Amino acid sequence: MKKHNSFPIFIYLLIYCVLVTYYVIIEISNLMKNKMNEEISMSTSSYELLCLNRESICLFDDVGIFLGSKGMIHELPSVPSSRRLPLDKISNSTYMIKERERLPLNGSKTPLCDYNLMIFSLYKNDENKIYSELDETLLNRITGKSNPSFSKEEADEVKYIGVYRISNHHSCHIEGEGSHLRGNKVRLLGLLGLALLNAELKIIEGTDMIVDLNHFYFPNEHVLWTPSFHDFQLIATSTDKESKLKNQLFFLATGTGLGMSIIPVDIQRIRDGSISDLPIRMNGTIVPSLYGSGGLQLQALNKKGIHSPRSFFWYKAGIELAKNMHVFQSSNGTYFIEIWPLFPHETRPINFNVIGFYIHTYQDINLFPNMKMKLESGLYPPSKELIVTNATTEPEPSFRYQYFRNESRSRDRGSACCIDMNIEGVQVKVGISHVVSDVWGRVYFSRFYAFESEPPFNIVAKSGLFCLSHALPNDIGLETVAAAQRDAHSNFTSSFDVFKHKYKCPKISFISGMIEMVGNPNMVIISYGVNDCYSRIIFVPKKKIKMVLLGSSY
């Protein structure tokens, strides 16, 4: 009986084991198949864009998603919560109009937005190591290494400086319709935000601040005066003929009516609002912090001889009656300023080396020797040392895109410049330009362009036009910005329609920064403002940029 009863139990166990084994094998197979499909999908989305074969039209947003489908949202912690736009009011026009007119007249109670993030890298890549082009004393002041209250580990954590436009001038409302809420009863603010960033581009705790350089230089201007400085670029150059190390920081400040100005500055990491008296290479004055955690100290060149925005611009601070210009170096280290990126490419030498070891006043700055600044027309004579390429020899766009009516009348302006790349065996510099279309309610489009690293800086490649996405659901830091949360979960209701296609882009995507990632020479960090409301960062492999520039699957 025992033998007779044990036989079916053995069979049942055997069948059970076979079934379990079969189930496990099937599950493992499915997992491997899914993983392989994911990898194929990732490879396709990351490194293949079918329209790049020139046979079909590339949609503006297809290229943008190809470049960066996952991003990072940045918000400056030093903006008080009382001056942030709440999530439940972010699309309420009535609320926005009321808030923009909140007294007092100086605008000190109006909501603030930070956007058009520009990232300044403290280091460069060299094979398997990083190094800095900055003078050691300058680098140590920025990172805190020269301050005994910071450890070496704390100083080494700093890899970048974030530069933000802070303003009550925005188009966050009505899901990015593109019309700005200018304060017609209170002052329009043009503030500057700064922060130290680590390798992951996260703001290092206690190192962010907001200042008002407009009020610093022009404290007596009328309360309803439009500020001279809106957007800021941070650059470092050598002012000493005997050294190639970059020893001085400058802001390139763009505003309304004055064009672009240059402001010598010094940025130091400090502890808990303490005052640093470390020697610097200019006669600087500490700029008061409006908001911040007391971890940064900004000094700007003193105001001697400056009485108004016009005197400031004329008193050696003015660069040109234009905006969206960028400073870059040729392959031998000579500095140039890019005035126009395309159609044709226009550049001019800019002379930092004659400034000398110490800057006493703005009179010491003579960036364009033997030239004069005319408030009505800019640098004079305008053709002196101007380098202009032949627009007729510029290559055609690398891919086809939808043509819009006024494109031929919209000359490309600069957005961000430059990174070094090797394209087809040639060392080139790559920048990003933009055009503005008024056909669909003022929409911004961008393109890559590449030029030779020696004068006359001929254009060797340029892409077709594309637009970048607003915030997406999987973006890092999405939860910190109300407008970004709304956009990410809006099913692209802030997009624009063209030829019955709803483009998955905001109307305003202004690229404000492009740098090589510290520690990864094959990756590029692109930062941009979304609808003049918040900042987004994407991480783009150089291989993708090369594909878009050449118009092939590479």
pLDDT, tens digit (0-9, with 9 covering 90-100), for 287-300: 999 999 899 999 99
**Residue 21: inside a domain:** no
Helix (H, G, I), strand (E, B) or coil at 134: strand
In a domain, 12, yes or no: no
Decide if 72 contacts 201 (C-beta within 8 A): yes
pLDDT band at 63 (very low <50, low <70, confident <90, very high): very high
320 forms beta bridges with: 260
Residue 383 lies in a domain: yes
- Copy the structure tokens of residue 548: 């878009």
Q: Please, is 50 exposed, middle or buried when counting C-beta atoms within 10 Å of its C-beta (0-12, 13-18, 19+)?
A: exposed
Q: Can you tell me the mean pLDDT for 17-30?
A: 46
pLDDT digits (tens, 9 = 90+) for 371-429: 998 878 889 999 999 999 998 899 999 998 887 656 655 789 999 999 999 998 999 99
Backbone angles phi, psi at 48, to 5 degrees: -145, 130
Which sign does the torsion angle of CA 381, 384, 386, 389 carry? positive
281 token code pair:
């290479």
pLDDT of residue 2: 43
CB atoms within 10 A of CB 158: 22
What pLDDT, on a 0 to 100 scale, did the predictor assign at position 218? Answer: 92
Number of Cβ within 10 Å of residue 47's Cβ equals 14
3-state secondary structure of 95: helix
Does residue 46 have a pLDDT over 70?
no
Q: What per-residue confidence (pLDDT) applies to 26? A: 40
Burial class (CB in 10 A: 0-12, 13-18, 19+), 425: exposed
Average pLDDT, the chain: 86
Beta carbons of 395 and 343 less than 8 angstroms apart? no
What pLDDT digit, counting tens, does each position of 307-360 carry? Answer: 888 888 887 899 999 999 999 999 999 999 999 999 999 999 999 987 878 999
Lowest mean pLDDT among 199-208, 410-419, 496-505: 496-505
Distance from the Cα of residue 231 to its chain's centroid: 11
Q: Match 């590479």 to its residue by tokens.
A: 554
Residue 299 lies in a domain: yes
- Residue 22 placed within a domain: no
Tally of CB atoms within 10 A around 153 = 7
Q: Which residues contact 451 (CB under 8 A, 6 or more apart)?
A: 345, 428, 429, 431, 457, 458, 459, 460
Least trusted range by pLDDT, from 78-82, 191-195, 225-229, 290-294: 225-229
Range of the domain at 170: 51-550
Closest CA to 521 of 130, 220, 246: 130
Which one, of 12, 9, 8, lies nearest residue 20 by Cα?
12
Half-sphere exposure of 379 (CA within 13 A, CB side): 25
Domain count for the chain: 1
The pLDDT of residue 226 = 82
Within-domain flag for 66:
yes
Which of these, 197, 199, 172, 180, lies nearest to 470 by C-alpha position? 172
Q: Would you state the pLDDT for residue 39?
A: 33
- CA 413, distance to chain mean position in Å, is 15
- Edge-to-edge strands, sheet with 509-516: 71-74, 534-541, 523-530, 509-516
- Residue 29 tokens read as 């197979």
DSSP category for residue 282: B
Q: Is the alpha carbon torsion for 208, 213, 219, 224 positive or negative?
A: negative
465 in a domain, yes or no?
A: yes
Q: Across residues 175-190, what is the average pLDDT?
A: 63
Cis link prior to 341 (omega < 30° from 0)?
Answer: no
- Under a CB-based contact definition with an 8 Å cutoff, are residues 549 and 462 in contact? yes
CA atoms within 13 A on the CB side of 397: 19
| 3-state class percentages of the chain: helix first, strand second, coil last, to nearest 5 | 25, 30, 45
Q: What pLDDT was estimated at residue 137?
A: 97
- Tell me the per-residue pLDDT of 511-526, one tens digit each, with 9 for 90 and over: 999 999 999 999 999 9
What count of Cα atoms within 13 Å lies in the side-chain half-sphere of residue 273?
A: 7
Q: How confident is the model at residue 242 (pLDDT cuts 50, 70, 90)?
A: confident
> Would you state the pLDDT for residue 253?
96
Residue 311 placed within a domain: yes
- Give the position of tokens 């303490």: 274
Name the pairing type of β-strands 378-380 and 426-437: unpaired
CA atoms within 13 Å, Cβ hemisphere of 424: 9
pLDDT, residue 503, reads 80
Separation of CA 186 from chain center? 28
